[in-house]
């Protein structure tokens, strides 16, 4: 907060602060609880949970099958879950299929595995263009998709939130699960890029 | 669409607005969809509006729906 302390809040920021204060005054919430959530999302919950899930799926074929069949149960095995995770569906990238996740209506996103979405995910440009011209969007992220590879766009809804299981990078045959997790980027789980190369 | 926007929040108030909604929905015992539906409506009402402004509009709507006694 300190770096922005001298800057005046925009109207929406002032309104948000007023609403928080009102909810505190009503006894609905406490400022401490808000602090705790801010802290958790900035420092603890992030794409690292998703990366652990993907890395496990890369090394454990049985887990991978369970993950694709019933993601909420599978991620619970790793202690990952919570609000929004109960609607999680994992879609798998293969040689023939690339998956791309978007929420055209607002910004549904599997927080427990991916943290809070980046601003571009929530932008009107991404929300509209991911559906209308997904290959062009992928190209802008540096991801060239050959014409013979199918691109599937998954539009999140109240019932389903999607996570892409990227392809395991080549040259990682002997890698441990922990090493592999470091290659799994947030963007690769949204589907706009591949997992990082070793 | 990428570099400058590769973070969840541009300013700290956005993180607080996010957290306020998460905490309030849980404290009120509401399903997350109670907020999500308002967010969807707020985004639809003004597609060009910055995302976190829509978020605050949805939060505003949620708070307005509470009884005066809280």
- Domain residue ranges in chain A: 10-190
Q: Distances in Å between the alpha carbon of A12 and those of A144, B16, B63?
A: 38, 12, 15
Radius of gyration of chain B (CA): 13
End-to-end CA distance of chain B: 41
Q: What percent of chain B has pLDDT over 70?
A: 87
Mutant choice from A5, A9, A29, A111 vs B, greatest count of B C-beta within 10 A: A29
**Is the predicted pLDDT of residue A179 greater than 90, yes or no?**
yes
Token pair belonging to A88: 């999680």
pLDDT of A73-98, one tens digit each? 999 999 887 666 788 999 999 999 99
Phi-psi region of A176 (alpha: psi -120 to 50; beta: other; left: phi over 0): beta
Say if residues B17 and B55 touch (Cβ distance below 8 Å): yes
pLDDT of A3-60, one tens digit each? 444 567 889 999 999 999 999 999 999 999 999 888 877 766 668 889 999 999 999 9
Radius of gyration of chain A (CA): 19
CA-nearest of B63, B1, B52 to A29 is: B63
Residue A103's pLDDT is what? 84
Contacts of B9 in chain A (CB under 8 A): 116, 119
Residue B49's Cβ-count burial label (10 Å; 0-12, 13-18, 19+) is middle
Catalytic residue among A106, A123, A128, A157: A106
Residue A170's Cβ-count burial label (10 Å; 0-12, 13-18, 19+) is exposed
CA B24, CA B21: separation in Å to the nearest integer?
5
| Interchain pair A23, B63: CB under 8 A | yes
Question: Please, which pLDDT band fits residue B11 given cuts at 50, 70 and 90?
Answer: confident
| Interchain pair A126, B1: CB under 8 A | yes
| Interchain pair A120, B51: CB under 8 A | no
DSSP state of A194: P
Among this protein's residues, is A106 annotated catalytic?
Answer: yes
Q: Which fold has domain A10-190?
A: Nitrile Hydratase; Chain A (3.90.330)
Tell me which of B7 and B40 has the higher pLDDT.
B40
Question: Please, which pLDDT band fits residue A183 given cuts at 50, 70 and 90?
Answer: very high
Residue A152's pLDDT is what? 97
Among this protein's residues, is A157 annotated catalytic?
Answer: no
Q: Mean pLDDT, chain A, as a whole number?
A: 89
Q: A29 in contact with B at a CB cutoff of 8 Å?
A: yes
CB-nearest to B16 from A20, A115, A123 is A20
Q: Distances in Å between the alpha carbon of B28 and those of A30, A158, A180, B18, B34?
A: 12, 20, 40, 16, 10
């Amino acid at each position: 907060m300190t770096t922005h302390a001298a800057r005046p809040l925009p109207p929406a920021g002032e309104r948000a602060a007023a609403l928080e204060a009102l909810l505190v005054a009503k006894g609905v919430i406490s400022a401490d609880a808000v602090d705790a959530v801010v802290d958790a999302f900035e420092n603890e919950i992030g794409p690292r949970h998703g990366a652990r899930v993907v890395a496990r799926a890369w090394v454990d074929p049985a887990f991978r099958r369970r993950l694709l069949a019933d993601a909420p149960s599978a991620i619970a095995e790793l202690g990952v879950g919570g609000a929004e995770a109960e609607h999680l569906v994992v879609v798998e990238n293969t040689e023939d299929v690339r998956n791309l996740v978007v929420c055209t209506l607002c910004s549904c996103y599997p927080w427990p595995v991916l943290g809070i979405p980046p601003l571009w995910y929530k932008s009107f440009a991404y929300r509209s263009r991911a559906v209308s011209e997904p290959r062009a969007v992928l190209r802008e992220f540096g991801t060239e998709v050959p014409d013979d590879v199918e691109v599937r766009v998954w539009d999140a809804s109240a019932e389903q939130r999607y996570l892409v299981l990227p392809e395991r990078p080549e040259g990682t045959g002997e890698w441990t699960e922990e090493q592999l997790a470091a290659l799994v980027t947030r963007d690769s789980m949204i589907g706009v890029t591949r997992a990082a190369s070793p | 669409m990428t570099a400058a926007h590769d973070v969840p929040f541009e300013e700290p108030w956005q993180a607080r607005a996010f957290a306020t909604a998460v905490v309030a929905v849980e404290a009120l015992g509401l399903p997350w969809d109670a907020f999500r539906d308002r967010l969807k409506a707020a985004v639809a009402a003004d597609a060009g509006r910055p995302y976190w402004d829509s978020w605050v509009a949805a939060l505003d709507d949620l708070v307005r729906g509470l009884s005066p006694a809280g």
